[in-house]
């Protein structure tokens, strides 16, 4: 394990250092005028703080490495969405929808919500959450506010076409739905393959709604290796393997359908650029490297950090902050590779830096 640690350190640090100049806050214009974020706890920046739900992270030790401390981000520091924003040249973090002012909406809004899924009911056993459908309703409201604010419909329509949109959703349709047969009937209604099909069909309609609201540059993140998270490993066991293979196999059935979906959207809407970000490719370590799976903080039964507990000191050597969520250093590695792909598998057909230029 010690060897695994030091190799991991090298892999992550090399990637992180290569991007350091870009991560230094730059003054000057961002590459695109605006940036909108949809998704779940991997990119939530505080939208759940006022909701009645267990899925919130507005307490220490979350935020221990974030400049403003605790914000509701489900990690020690920056999320993937924050880092992509910095790489795009935004000098401020995109504000959460729950808190955004009219002055701020023209540079973008973060709608993401911990516990949320493609399906409305996903995450409901934890309490309230803003499902992807509700995030789209919120986005429609923001577009209306922008139209009023900019007072020129033609201008606003052209303006929102230039923005980057990212969508990182679907993990809770497994973690907090299909994999919880006591709370949800989906695993009795659908086979693993049928469920992936149903999810992607719904996601397809939702992404078309996003297009109809003016989005033209959209990065669709595939699902992560949920079977490698400490919480799922503790729940299901791995039979001596590094991860819960059956879970990774289930979510991969979504991923293999998302790439063709992105291709279809690009050919049906010739003025749009959708791209698929392959988190499997991005987070699979090089041959022979074993990533540490121990979480950094002390876990509550639901996989989140115990409030006010002391986290591990070596957070830059750890992949998981809690039972499900990655540390800032892992997020830097993921975000930089989705921004500048290191392998043709990472992002297709475009990485985010290319998407911004198109």
Ligand X SMILES: *[C@@H]1O[C@H](CO)[C@@H](O)[C@H](O)[C@H]1NC(C)=O
98 is catalytic: no
Is residue 61 reached through a cis peptide bond, with omega within 30 degrees of 0 on the bond before it?
yes
Q: Which residue has the tokens 């409901």?
A: 124
Question: Binding to ligand X by residue 345, rule CB under 6 A?
Answer: yes
Residues 40, 41, 44, 124: which is the catalytic one? 41
Q: Select 107 or 299, whichever has its Cβ closest to ligand X.
A: 107
Residue number, 122 or 202, with CB nearest to ligand X: 202
CB of 279 to ligand X, least distance (A): 8
- For residue 294, list its beta bridge partners: none
Q: Which residues make Cβ contacts (< 8 Å) with residue 66, sequence separation at least 6?
A: 73, 76, 77, 78
Site for ligand X in 283-312 (CB under 6 A): 284
Least distance in angstroms from the C-beta of 48 to ligand X: 9
Could you say which of 44, 65, 82, 322 is catalytic? 322
In angstroms, how far is CA 68 from the centroid of its own chain?
A: 21
Shortest separation between residue 263's beta carbon and ligand X, angstroms:
9
Residues 235-264 that bind ligand X (CB under 6 A): 255-256, 259, 261, 264
Nearest residue (CB) to ligand X, 138 versus 295: 138
- Number of Cβ within 10 Å of residue 239's Cβ equals 8
**x-marked contacts with ligand X along 66-85 as a string, rule CB under 6 A:** -----xx-------------
**Under 8 Å between Cβ of 305 and 322:** yes
Are 78 and 23 spatial neighbours (Cβ–Cβ below 8 Å)?
no
- The residue count for binding ligand X (CB under 6 A) is 24
Question: What is the C-alpha to C-alpha distance for residues 79 and 65, in angstroms, rounded to an integer?
Answer: 11
Please tell me whether residue 152 binds ligand X under the rule CB under 6 A.
yes
316 is catalytic: no
Binding to ligand X by residue 150, rule CB under 6 A? no
- Answer yes or no whether residue 191 interacts with ligand X by CB under 6 A: no
Contacts of residue 312, defined as CB under 8 A and 6 or more positions apart, other chains included, come to: 296, 297, 318
Q: How far is the CB of 183 from ligand X (least distance, A)?
A: 28
**Given 325, 338, 346, 353, the catalytic residue:** 325
- Least distance in Å: CB of 185 to ligand X? 27
Whole-number Cα distances in Å, 57 to 41, 49, 122, 176, 303: 9, 8, 18, 17, 12
| Cis, bond preceding 44 (omega within 30 deg of 0) | no
CA distance 289 to 285: 6
122 annotated active-site: no
Which residues have a catalytic role annotated?
Answer: 41, 322, 325
Q: Name the site residues for ligand X (rule: CB under 6 A).
A: 46, 49, 71-72, 96, 99, 152, 154-155, 158, 204, 208, 255-256, 259, 261, 264-265, 268, 278, 280-281, 284, 345
């Amino acid at each position: 394990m010690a060897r695994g640690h030091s190799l991991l350190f090298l892999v992550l640090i090399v990637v992180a250092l290569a991007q350091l100049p870009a991560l230094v806050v730059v003054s000057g214009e961002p590459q695109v005028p605006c940036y909108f974020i949809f998704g779940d706890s991997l990119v939530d920046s505080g939208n759940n703080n006022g909701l009645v739900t267990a899925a919130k992270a507005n307490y220490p030790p979350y935020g221990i490495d974030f400049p403003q401390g605790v914000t509701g981000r489900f990690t020690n520091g920056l999320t993937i969405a924050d880092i992509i924003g910095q790489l795009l040249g935004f000098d401020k973090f995109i504000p959460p929808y729950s808190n955004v002012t009219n002055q701020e909406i023209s540079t973008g809004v973060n709608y993401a919500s911990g516990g949320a899924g493609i399906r409305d009911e996903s995450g409901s056993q934890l309490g309230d959450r803003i499902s992807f459908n509700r995030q789209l309703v919120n986005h429609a409201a923001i577009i209306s506010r922008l139209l009023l604010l900019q007072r020129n419909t033609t201008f606003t329509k052209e303006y929102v076409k230039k923005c980057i949109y990212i969508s990182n959703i679907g993990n809770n349709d497994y973690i907090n739905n299909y994999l919880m047969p006591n709370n949800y009937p989906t695993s009795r209604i659908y086979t693993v393959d049928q469920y992936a099909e149903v999810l992607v069909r719904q996601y397809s309609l939702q992404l078309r709604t996003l297009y109809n609201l003016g989005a033209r540059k959209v990065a669709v993140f595939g699902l992560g290796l949920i079977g490698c998270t400490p919480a799922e490993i503790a729940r299901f066991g791995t039979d001596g393997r590094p991860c819960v293979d059956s879970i990774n196999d289930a979510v991969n059935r979504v991923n293999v359908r998302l790439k063709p979906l992105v291709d279809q959207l690009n050919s049906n809407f010739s003025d749009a650029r959708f791209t698929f970000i392959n988190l499997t490719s991005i987070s699979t370590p090089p041959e022979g490297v074993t990533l540490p799976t121990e979480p950094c903080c002390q876990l509550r039964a639901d996989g989140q950090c115990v409030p006010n507990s002391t986290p591990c000191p070596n957070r830059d050597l750890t992949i998981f902050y809690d039972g499900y969520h990655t540390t800032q250093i892992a997020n830097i590695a993921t975000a930089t590779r989705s921004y500048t792909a290191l392998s043709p598998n990472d992002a297709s057909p475009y990485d985010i830096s290319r998407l911004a230029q198109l």
